[in-house]
Amino acid sequence: MIQNGLTHPIFQIVSQESETLGFKTFVIGGYVRDLYLNRKSKDVDFVTVGSGIILAQAVKKRLKNSSLSIFKNFGTAQIKTNDWEFEFVGARKESYDRKSRKPKVEDGTFEDDIHRRDFTINTLAISLQKSNFGRLIDSFNGLEDLENKIIRTPLDPIVTFRDDPLRMMRAIRFATQLDFKIEISTHKALGSEAKSLSIISQERITDELNKIILSTRPSIGFKHLFDTKLLHEFFPEMVKLQGVEIREGKGHKDNFYHTLQVLDQICERTDDLWVRWSAILHDIAKPPTKRFVKGEGWTFHGHEDKGSRMVKPLFTKLKLPLGAPMAKVRTLVQLHLRPIALTKENITDSAVRRLIFDAGEHLEDLMILCKSDITTKNKLKEQRFQKNLINVEHNIALVEERDRIRNWQPPIKGDEIMKLFRIEPGKEIGMIKTALKDAILDGVIPNNYNDAYNFVIEQGKKLGLQIQ
């Protein structure tokens, strides 16, 4: 198995250049782990007892169509060629000051480097020395943990996590991606050391969180994050979703576990990270909007509006991008109840046009979110809801084909209205444009230039404007 994973020319080149330089070099970590898991990987980490930068520079000279990036501050280098990425680093010791976000790094032996690794399954290494090329080095029974599907730290987990608290997020990320169990003492240490996550930058935490979200079943990771209270450290708004309150014999569903079910279900339908984030945030405002009404029970009126307003502050805090991804999630959270409302009888074409207009380019993603938001255990009820949403999609397609509302632009723009009435920019222009949009969306006039032109003239007259 190992030899089959060393067929790329890079391994012989690194071996030969290491011998010339007098370095001992090893393939280590994820690439080796993935070999045994039969997972394809084109990211290879090399650790050398020497300078990773010098070794990378020597290797680069022998690789055609490749690029070299050097990171002197970290003592590392990266070579990219075709769709492969090769990382080179010198063997080192590394630890965190508990009051600092930056690690202290020193040169070390190969054994030092192995000891600083996060989990036993990532301590597996392959020798590239000429004398024992391809030999597996398994210092911490990582192969056995791979076979048993266990996440375990090579040293005392408290020491491992204190050296780099981000490893706690990585433990949960690997458990989620690989569907592995976290060994008991390692899991306990996640809880006892959760507070130390505060010294890690939010960008690095969110990077690991996004990898969890992009896995096949993110709920695995979120349950670990919740149980260990790591989630409480950086995402308390989601933690508040958990729990059921009962009053006068009436309770509501646990919105935390409902959210996780929606998230897993949406992952079966899309790989889009931001659509998955919309599942996480679609009910985020239920705690602050929760009310108990006598005779009715629990209500969460307006949670979609408040939730959409919470998206930007949450994206800002979590260091997520504030451009198009944030706008997309905000739109999906804002509209996630609208398609459900269209499943009722006697829904007008106007309501369908409004949804098409408001959702714009995100309409398909909105329907994916709505289908995933059905979490009833009653199979017949679920089938009925899904069938109703399919009918909504059919109605949307009919209205869209006829009225061309998707990504709608007004047939007459504001500058043309100003020329028509020879007026300067002002509130009248906005009033006419809004009236025109509403008339088309409500089906008062068709979506074409001539009807829009006549409508604008009539609206102008109502405002005391005349064609000049």
Total domain count, the chain: 4
45 and 141 inside one domain? yes
pLDDT category, 347, cuts 50, 70, 90?
confident
288 and 383 inside one domain? yes
Domain residues for the domain of 453 are 414-462
Domain assignment present for residue 467? The answer is: no
- The average pLDDT across 246-258 equals 85
Q: List the CATH number of the domain containing 123.
A: 3.30.460.10
pLDDT digits (tens, 9 = 90+) for 127-139: 999 999 999 999 9
391 and 283 inside one domain? yes
pLDDT digits (tens, 9 = 90+) for 201-218: 999 999 999 999 999 999
pLDDT category, 168, cuts 50, 70, 90?
very high
Domain assignment present for residue 229? The answer is: yes
pLDDT averaged over the chain? 90
Say yes or no to pLDDT of 99 above 60: no
140 and 2 inside one domain? yes
pLDDT digits (tens, 9 = 90+) for 175-194: 999 999 999 999 999 999 99
Domain assignment present for residue 264? The answer is: no
- The average pLDDT across 318-337 equals 96
109 and 141 inside one domain? yes
Say yes or no to pLDDT of 100 above 70: no
- The average pLDDT across 225-247 equals 95
Percentage of residues in the chain having pLDDT higher than 70: 94
58 and 194 inside one domain? no
Q: What is the pTM of this model?
A: 0.85
17 and 129 inside one domain? yes
Say yes or no to pLDDT of 98 above 60: no
Distance CA 104, CA 94 (A): 6
Domain assignment present for residue 257? The answer is: no
Q: Which comes out higher in pLDDT, residue 420 or 287?
A: 287
347 and 326 inside one domain? yes
Whether the Cβ atoms of residue 172 and residue 190 lie closer than 8 Å to each other: yes
349 and 301 inside one domain? yes
pLDDT category, 104, cuts 50, 70, 90?
low
Residues near 347 by beta carbon (within 8 Å), at least 6 away in sequence:
341, 395
Structure tokens at 406: 């998707």
Say yes or no to pLDDT of 97 above 70: no
pLDDT category, 2, cuts 50, 70, 90?
low
- The average pLDDT across 265-288 equals 97
Domain assignment present for residue 362? The answer is: yes
State the pLDDT at residue 143.
Answer: 95
118 and 186 inside one domain? no
Q: Which residues of 77-87 are buried (b: 16+ CB within 10 A; e: fewer)?
A: bbbebeeeebb
Distance CA 464, CA 452 (A): 18
Domain assignment present for residue 408? The answer is: no
- The average pLDDT across 20-34 equals 94
Whether the Cβ atoms of residue 60 and residue 68 lie closer than 8 Å to each other: yes
State the pLDDT at residue 297.
Answer: 86
Domain assignment present for residue 194? The answer is: yes
- The average pLDDT across 39-52 equals 92
Domain assignment present for residue 227? The answer is: yes
61 and 109 inside one domain? yes
153 and 217 inside one domain? yes
Residues near 228 by beta carbon (within 8 Å), at least 6 away in sequence:
168, 172, 187, 190, 191, 194
- The average pLDDT across 331-351 equals 86
Residues near 441 by beta carbon (within 8 Å), at least 6 away in sequence:
350, 353, 354, 357, 405
Q: List the CATH number of the domain containing 216.
A: 1.10.110.30
- The average pLDDT across 39-66 equals 92
Structure tokens at 455: 């409508």
